[in-house]
Chains A and B, each alone.
Chain A
Amino acid sequence: MDLLTGKMKSYIQIKNIFILLLLLTSIGVFAQNQEPSFVNVPPSNGVSLNLTNDMLQDSKGFIWFGTTYGLVRYDGKNFVVYRYNSVDTNSISFDDISCLFEDSKGNLWVGTFGGGLNRFDANREIITRFTNNQSDPNSINNNTTLSISEDKNGNIWLVNSSSKIQKYEYSANNFTTVDINLADSNGISPSLNTLLIDDDLLWIGHSKGLSYYNIVSHNIHHFYIEGKPDTSFTNSPVTTIFKDSNGTLWIGTSTGLNKYLKDENALQHIKLGSSYSINSILENKSGNLWLGTNNGLVNYNPATNEYRIFKAGNNTNSISGNFVKKVLVNNSGLLWVASYNFGVTKCILKPKNFKTLNNLKDVPASLKNKSITAISEDRERKIYFGTQDGKIFFLNPETEKVSALDVKAKNITIINSLAVNKDILWIGTDNSILNYDLKKKQLVTNTFSSEQKKEIGDIGIKSIRFQSDSVAWIGTNSHGVFNFNIKSKELKTYTFNKEQNNKRADFILDIYIDRKDNLWISAKAGVYKFNYDAGEFVPFEIKKNNVSFNRNNVYSILEDSNGDFLFGTTNGFIKLDQKTNSLIHFTQKDGLPTDVITGIVECDNGSLWLSTNNGLSLFNPDKKSFTNFDEEDGLQVNIFNPSVYYKSSDGTIYFGGINGLTFFNPKAINLNKFNPPVLITSLKVLSKEGEFIQRIIDGKNIELETDENTLKIEFISIDYENSAKNKYQYKLSSFTDEWISNGTDNSVTFSNLPDGNYLFQVMGTNSDGVWSEKSATISFVIKRSILRAWWFFPALAVGLILILFIIHLFILKTKVKQALETENKRRHEHETSSRKAAADFYDELAHSLTRISLANEIVDRKIGMAFIEIKPLINSIAENAGRLYENLQDYIWVVNPRNNSVYDLMIRLKDYGDEAYSNTNINFIVDGFSEEHKNAILEPDLKREVLQLIKEGINNSLKHFNCQRVSLTSSVQPDDFELKFEEDGLELKPNQMLVSNKIENMIRKTENLIILLNEDIESGNSITITVKGRINSK
C-alpha cells in the first residue's frame, strides 16, 4: 500500500512525516494509527472478478459481483456463477453485467450492457428476463441499463443508455417511460448516467451535472449553471449519487466530490487535493466515506474534512488497481474494492494488529525470515532473539529497529536458549553455553571453572532460567539439568535417567519458576517439581484419561494470576485448578487450532495466549473459549517453535516461529465483534445414483421420501473477514438435542435418518469466534416408512395368514387335483380297458350276429321254396338277428358319453332318417336344433328311449302310403326338451293302424318321457309324436 498523505498521530508515522509530506498534494489530509489490511478475494475455478462493474451485499448477506463474465454470488467460501445459457430460459439474459440493485421485496435486479434487464428471485432461483421489444411500448426501451433505484411505493426506476428513464410497477409487470425534460435553453438534452430516489425526489446524474425531478409534483430543478464550463463542480458530469446514514446526499462527478446542502438546495464541492473522477461512493460504520475513483481509493471523513488516498502498490497489502470502479462496505464493516482489470480487494479497516519482522522497517533482510528459537530481554528492554542458524539479533521496541548481535564466538550452532542476568547474556546452543557481556560487547570466559567447562562442554543447552541473580538453572538435551551458583561457582547436576540410562529422559524442554519460587522442570520423561527440603526433583504426574506427561511433551508451564497451573503439551492444553484440584483438558475439539501447544503466556486481563503449530490462540478463561489466529490475521507464520515465547516488561508478547517472529500488544489486538448471520445454503439428498441432489429451500417444510434419508446440509456464516475460521455448531431435533460442534466445516451429512419430522438448527461464528445471535433453521420431514405405519404389522399378519391360507388351499387343491387326476387316470384306464373289452365284445357280438344273419340268408336262398313251412322261422331268425344288431348299435351309441346331448340325439336321428329316406321321395325335414343344444344333457335311458321311439317312427313312416313329408323338430327349454315327429303318410290297407304296435309298446314301456301321440289325418300330419323330457345343463 502506498500511503500518500497523513496527519501523523503515532510515533511511527511521526518519524516518517517528512517523507510523506513530500508527497502531499493537498491539505486537509488525515492519518490513522492503524493501517488497514488488504486481501485480494481469492480466485476460484471458473470465477473471474477482474472486470467487476458493480457489487452489492444483499439482505441475506451474500456478496454479489456483477462482472463482464456473468453474475457471481460469494458467501466467503464458495462462489456461485450465473451466466447466460442459450438453452436455459432461467438463466440471465446476458453475461456483461452493468449494475445491480436489490429491491425491498428481496429481488435482485441485474442490468447488463446490451443484453437486457433481469429480475432474480434468489430464494427460488427464478430469473425473469426483460428485453427491448420494439413493438411493445411497455418493454424496456433499451437493453443497456446504467442505474436502478426504487421509490417508496416499491416501483423500480431505471435509466438506460438511451437516456430514458423508465418505471416498473410490479402490479402491471411492465415498464412505462417517464417523460422528464432535462433539456437546456438550447433544447439540448444531456445523456443520463445515474439516478437515485430520495423520498419524492428523483435525483438524476447526467452529462451536464445534477438535476432532480419531483415524481409527485413533476417539478424539475437543475444544479448546473448554463454557460459555465463542464470542469466546474456544478457542471461536471455526475457519475454517482449516494445518500449517507445522516441523510446527506453525496454527488460523485468526473471532477470530484460534491455535497448536497439541503437547506440551501445547493451543492458544495469537497476538495480532495486533486481532481478525482469518482465512480462510486460508500460509507463505513464510523461515518467515513470511501470513494472509488479513476485514480485510487479515497477515504474521506466528513466530520473533520480529512481524507486519505490508497493506491495500488507492489506488495500484496494494497488495493489491486487504481481504477476503482466500485466500493462496497458490507454489514460487518469490511470494505470491498473492485479495481477494473485487477479484481476485487477485501479491506479490513481494523486489522488484528499483529506485528512481524516483515512489518518493521530497518530490519535486515537476512533476519526477516529466520526460525526463531530463543527470546530474552535485557535491562534496557531490548529484546534478544536466537535463530536456528546460530544468529542473535535484538529489537528496540521503542524504535522498532532490529540489529544483529555479533558475539564473536566460533562454532555457534542452534541458539536454543537466551537469558539475561544483569548485563550478561547467557546463550545456550546445541553444543555449548556462552556468556556475553552486553555492555562490554565481549564474551565472558570465567563464569565456569575449567573443570566445570569440561563437565558441561559439548552439551546441548535447551533452557536457561535464573531463580535469582546468582542461581541459574540450565536444562540440557542429554544430561538433565544443572544448578549453577554464579557466586559460589557451585555446579550441581540433576538427572532423571539414573536407573534406565535413558538420555531421552534427560532431555529438558522447559524450566519454569512459579510465583512461590517453586522450580518446575519439563523433561521428555515428564514433569518434575523440585523439593527443596529433599534437594531433589519429584515427578509431577496428573491422571486424567489419555493425558500423560510421560507420553506427551510439555513445552510450556505457567502459573496464572489465579494460581492455577497451565501446561502446554503435544496433546492439548491442560489447566490444573489449584483450589479444587480439578483438571480441565482442552484439545482441538474444544476449539484449539491444533493439539500441539508450544507456548503459554498470560496477559494482564487474565486471558492466555497460546502458541501452537497451527497459529496462535487466545483463551478466555471465563468462557473457556478459544479465538484462533493465523497468517491471514497477520501472523508471520503459523508454526511456532516449542518453548519459544516471551512476555516483555512492557506487556508485549513474543512468539518465535519456524519462519519468523510474531509479537503484539495484547491490548491492541482488534477482535472481530460482528455477530454474523448464518444461512442454510443448500439441502441435498443422496440419490440412488450416489449423487447429492439439491432441493429448493423456500421456507416451506421439505418433504422427503422414506429412502431419501441421507442428507447433506450446507450452511454459511456470513462473515467475510477470514471465512475459513468461521466455526459452526448444529443440532437436529429428533436426533440430538445438544449443540454439536462442527468445527470450521460448513456442511454436515446425516445418513440413514429414520422417518419423522426434523428441525435442523445451525449457528456460526465470525472469524474470531463470536456466535451468530440467531440460528438458521430448516425443517423437513422424512415420510413414514410403510414398515412403521401402525397398520403395517397387523396388515402384514393378515396378509401372511391369507398367503398361508392360499398356499394351503393351493396345496390342498393340488393334492385334490392330483388325486382326481390319479382317479381319472385310473378310471380312464378302467374305462379304456372296459371299453376295449366291450368293443371287443360288441365286435364279436356284431360279427356273430352278422354271420348268423348272413348264414340265415344263405340257408334261405339254398332252400328256396323247398321247405316253405320253415320259411317264417328263417325269416324270424334273420329279423331278430338284424334287430339285435341294430339295438346293439344303438346301445353302443347310447352308452358313449360323448353322445349325451339333445344335439347329438338329433344328429343321430337326422343321419338315420337321411339314410332311411335316401331312396324315397319323402321330404325329410329336421329343424329346431343347433350346436347350443350340446349343453342340454340327456340321461342315457331317456336318450335311448327317444332314439328308439323316433327311429321306429321313421321306419313306420316308410310303410305308409303316399308319405311325402316327414319332419323332426326339437326345442330346448332351461329344464326340459321337446321333440316332435310328424309324418303325413296314410295306411296302406283299410283298418290298418297308422301307428304300429311296436310304437305303442314303446310308449307304454317308457318311464322317463311324456309322449303325446296324435293321429289326425285331417290336420295334414297323419301322425304326430311329441316327446318331452327333462334335461340337465352342462
Chain B
Amino acid sequence: MLSKNIIRVVIIEDDEIIRKSYTSIINDSEKYICTADYDNFEEAIKNISKDEPKIILIDSVLPEITGVEGIRRIKSAYSKADILVLTFLEDDKEIFDALCAGACGYLTKNTKPENFIRALDVIVRGEASMNTNIAKLVLDSVKRTKKNPLTSKEIEVLHQIADGKSYSMIAEKLLTNKETVRSQIKNIYKKLPLFTKT
C-alpha cells in the first residue's frame, strides 16, 4: 500500500535503458514511484486506468504510434494524469503539437537526474515552462480561434513571452512572481486542446 503522498508515475518508453533508468531515478526519489513502465503503447493504454498515475512520461516517438496520437488517446482513456513528453531534441513544432494534444510539459531525455525530479516537482506544483517560439505558436492559435478560453492575464503572459521577456520581467510587469507566471503557463497548456487542432 502506497502512501497517499507518493506520486504515481507511469513511463511509456520503448528504449529499455532509458525506461529503466528513469524508473530507477523515480523510484530512488522520495516523492515519486513508478507504478508501471511500458515498452509499447497498446499495453500502456490497456492498463493506464488501473495504474492511476499522477504523471505519465511518454516517449515522443513510439514504434507503433505517433506521440501526438498517443497523448490524445491516453488523455481520452485517462484524463487525471499530467502528461510529460520525453524528447531528444527540442523541436518546437513537435512540442507544440504534443501540448495541443494534451501534454502539459516536456523533458529532454538527457535531463540530469536532479533536474528530472525537479521537473516532476514543477508539474506537481502546477507549473510549466514555455519558450518564446511555443508562445508565438500558441498566440497564433488564439488569434485563429473564435472562442478563446484564455483569460486576459494568460494572454498577457503569452504576449510577454512571445515578446522575449523573461519570467522575471513578466512577473515584475504583472506584479506577481515567477511561480504564478509558470502556473498560468500550465493553465494555458490545459486549455490548449480546447482551441487547437493538431
Binding site for B on A (CB under 8 A): 842-843, 846-847, 849-851, 853-855, 857-858, 861, 881-882, 885-886, 889, 892, 903, 906-907, 910-911, 913-915, 917-919, 922-926, 929-930
Contact = CB atoms under 8 A, between A and B. Distances in A.
A846 B89 contact: yes
Given A854-B22, A855-B21, A923-B172, 17 more contacts: A843-B88, A846-B110, A849-B110, A850-B110, A851-B15, A851-B18, A854-B18, A855-B17, A858-B17, A861-B24, A882-B112, A889-B90, A889-B108, A892-B89, A911-B131, A911-B132, A926-B169
A839 to B, nearest CB: 8
Interface residues of B, number: 32
B26 to A, nearest CB: 12
A850 B61 CA distance: 15
Q: Which of A855, A881, A914 has the most CB of B within 10 A?
A: A914
B129 interface: yes
Contacts of B122: 918-919
Interface in B103-148: 108-110, 112-113, 118, 122, 129, 131-133
A930 to B, nearest CB: 8
A910 B166 contact: yes
A861 B169 CA distance: 39
Contacts of A849: 110
Interface in B12-65: 15, 17-18, 20-22, 24-25, 28
Contact of B164 (A853, A906, A917): A906
- The interface residues of chain A, by DSSP majority, are classed as helix
A915 B24 contact: no
B56 to A, nearest CB: 19
12 contacts: A846-B89, A850-B110, A854-B22, A906-B164, A910-B166, A917-B166, A919-B118, A924-B167, A925-B168, A926-B164, A926-B165, A930-B164
Contact of A917 (B22, B90, B168): B168
Please give me the 5 A-B residue pairs with the lowest Cβ-Cβ distance, nearest first: A854-B21, A911-B131, A846-B88, A885-B110, A850-B109
B178 interface: yes
A907 B168 contact: no
B182 interface: yes
A923 B178 CA distance: 9
Nearest to A926: B166
B89 to A, nearest CB: 6
A850 B88 contact: yes
Contact of B89 (A842, A854, A910): A842
A874 to B, nearest CB: 13
B166 A889 contact: no
A850 B172 CA distance: 37
Contacts of A903: 164
Q: Which of B90, B109, B164, B167 has the most CB of A within 10 A?
A: B164
A930 B113 CA distance: 36
A566 B61 CA distance: 124
Contact of A910 (B88, B132, B178): B132
Contact of A918 (B21, B110, B129, B133): B129
A914 B129 contact: yes
B20 A858 contact: yes
A922 B168 CA distance: 8
Contacts of A922: 168
B132 A907 contact: yes
Contacts of A861: 24, 28
B162 to A, nearest CB: 10
Nearest to A885: B110
Nearest to B134: A911
Contacts of A917: 166-168
Interface in B65-115: 88-90, 108-110, 112-113
A913 B89 contact: no
Contacts of B118: 919
A854 B17 contact: yes
B161 to A, nearest CB: 9
Q: Which of A858, A919, A922, A926 has the most CB of B within 10 A?
A: A919
B166 A907 contact: no
Given A849-B110, A915-B129, A858 B21 contact: yes
A858 B26 CA distance: 12
Given A847-B15, A854-B22, A857-B21, A914 B110 contact: no
A839 B100 CA distance: 24
A911 B20 CA distance: 30
B164 A858 contact: no
Nearest to B20: A858
Contacts of B172: 923
Interface in B159-184: 164-169, 172, 178, 182
A907 B89 contact: no
Q: Which of B113, B132, B167, B168 has the most CB of A within 10 A?
A: B168
A725 B122 CA distance: 119
A855 B118 CA distance: 20
Contacts of B20: 858
Contacts of B24: 857-858, 861
Q: Which of B15, B24, B88 has the most CB of A within 10 A?
A: B88
Nearest to A913: B166
Contact of B167 (A855, A907, A918): A918
A37 to B, nearest CB: 100
B133 A907 contact: yes
A924 B110 contact: no
B84 to A, nearest CB: 15
A478 to B, nearest CB: 113
A1006 B169 CA distance: 31
Contacts of A842: 89
A875 to B, nearest CB: 11
A886 B18 CA distance: 18
Nearest to A844: B88
Nearest to A915: B129
Contacts of A885: 110
A854 B131 CA distance: 26
A906 B165 CA distance: 10
A583 B13 CA distance: 127
A930 B132 CA distance: 13
Contacts of B108: 889
Contacts of B167: 914, 917-918, 924
A853 B110 contact: yes
A858 B28 CA distance: 11
A889 B110 CA distance: 11
